Structure 1
């Protein structure tokens, strides 16, 4: 019988992270649930239908916390096959000139530095384990391609994730580490409920936008995760079909 693959999901307590973790569990992955809130991680675990999970409270901005996540994963399961590098945050939607350095730094710390710390820790495990290799999937967001109004910190960090993805794809080749990115648009989670009621457009108007079921995102991530390492989805965009992206302003 094939050994189950081990997947680590950051931001697994809510939203896209939770949905991805559950989709991976359905695909027979053992899922390590990482996030700041142990209660929400345990809630995710309770929804996994008896699949094997491990909840590890983690602050992705803290190098020691990230190291502990992967040390505990390796000690418990012996390896890491997949990382969904998902944890993220955003700043208040205010005009660019009103952003504070503290608001900028808070988004960079989670979305960029946190993504780097988590990817690096996973990369080190994947490089050193036997059999060697693994897969890193970064959550880019549609904002890795096009911005919304008043979103400079989020958009800048998500564009940077694309550079991180490309660098990891190149640097990981010699260690059988594949890296891809999923850019997600208007998935119906509690964090984006406002999209269905109204969001500011490029021309300043307020418009309700179509959304898509978040389950489709989880299935897309599980598909990427389930590929053999000789095959990689480098970039995938999954979005509500009618959302304003092509020609959004």
Structure 2
């Protein structure tokens, strides 16, 4: 039986849709106060309304120091504490080398990697004062483990998050602050649904479990990392991909056989 997190406070960035929305909803179900953060206030407000009275919305651009500091202050003003940060905000526009511009590269790195750094930095004073905290970063299998054409900048940012996480975990351990990462594979989000049934089917065929993950598969792992029971786990990445990275070749999937 897990110790209840009810009444604790979580900040979820990039929470207006996809995995971020799933994380916000799941933490709300667990009884936490949820600060739903998105660049667009109206989108954050919709998710906060889905969660209920324990949640509220805040507009912030995680690439801006002033915004992330205001985000942290809003959580303190509204709920009195910051127990958990889910640094989820991220973008993944595709651009192949030769076509990718410096601005393309910088935008992805600023949002995904610098945004993680700024979000973590903003919550540290409150967590250090409390001498406890949980930080959960949304990374990916793309970059740390796999690659995909058009995503060199995205993969670099996600691998960078894992390097950031490991040293941050060492630095923050004296304050009982853990830093871990969820590493999703192919997850059925609004963006994936927009690719069409044929694309979804072909993607699922590459996964040993023959299905895509749910945003709640990621959210449940984030919730575990936030729990009291995960207090001795830090600097770790959890792959949630239905076994996608395991086959050494397509032949391994062909040899699986029928269940």
Is there any run of 5+ residues in structure 2 with no aligned partner, and where? 205-211, 251-259
Provide the aligned C-alpha RMSD in A.
2.2
Whether the 8 Å CA contact 1:73–1:80 is kept in 2: the answer is yes
Counterpart for residue 24 of structure 2: 21
- TM-score, with normalisation over the residues of structure 1? 0.88
Cα distance in 1 for residues equivalent to 2:93 and 2:219: 25
CA shift at 1:246, angstroms? Answer: 3.7
Q: What is aligned with 1:148?
A: 148
Establish whether residue 227 from structure 1 lines up as the match of residue 221 from structure 2.
no
Pick which of 189-198 and 112-121 moved more. 189-198
- CA-to-partner distance for each residue in 1:29-73, whole Å, 9 max, x for gaps? 11111111112111111211x350121101001110111001111
Cα distance in 1 between the residues matched to 2:90 and 2:249? 23
Alignment match, 2:181: 181
> Is 1:113–2:114 an aligned residue pair?
yes
CA distance in 1, matches of 2:49, 2:219: 17
Distance, in Å, in 2 between the alignment partners of 1:113 and 1:159 is: 13
What corresponds to 1:134 in structure 2?
133
Partners of 2:169 and 2:226 in 1: how far apart?
15
CA distance, structure 2, for counterparts of residue 191 and residue 95 of structure 1: 20
User: How far is 1:215 from its partner?
Assistant: 2.1
Contact 1:24–1:222 at 8 Å: present in 2 too?
yes
The CA deviation at 1:123 is 1.9
The one of 82, 86, 89 equivalent to 2:88 is 86
Name 2:69's counterpart in structure 1.
Answer: 67
- Asked if the contact 1:28/1:51 (under 8 Å) is kept, the reply is no
Cα distance in 2, alignment partners of residues 248 and 80 from structure 1:
44
Aligned length: 237
- Name 1:236's counterpart in structure 2: 238
- For residues 29 and 80 of structure 2, the distance between their equivalents in structure 1, rounded to whole angstroms, comes to 21
**Aligned counterparts of 2:118 and 2:245: Cα–Cα separation in 1:** 33
Is it true that 1:33 corresponds to 2:31 in the alignment? Answer: no
**Which structure has the highest strand share of the two?**
1
- Is the CA contact (8 Å cut-off) linking 1:183 and 1:237 kept in structure 2? yes
TM-aligned CA deviation for residue 216 of structure 1: 1.7
User: Does the 8 Å contact 1:182/1:238 carry over to 2?
Assistant: yes
Go from structure 1 to structure 2 and tell me whether the alpha carbon gap of 1:103 and 1:19 turns closer, same or farther (over 3 Å shift).
same
SS of the aligned residue for 1:155 comes to helix
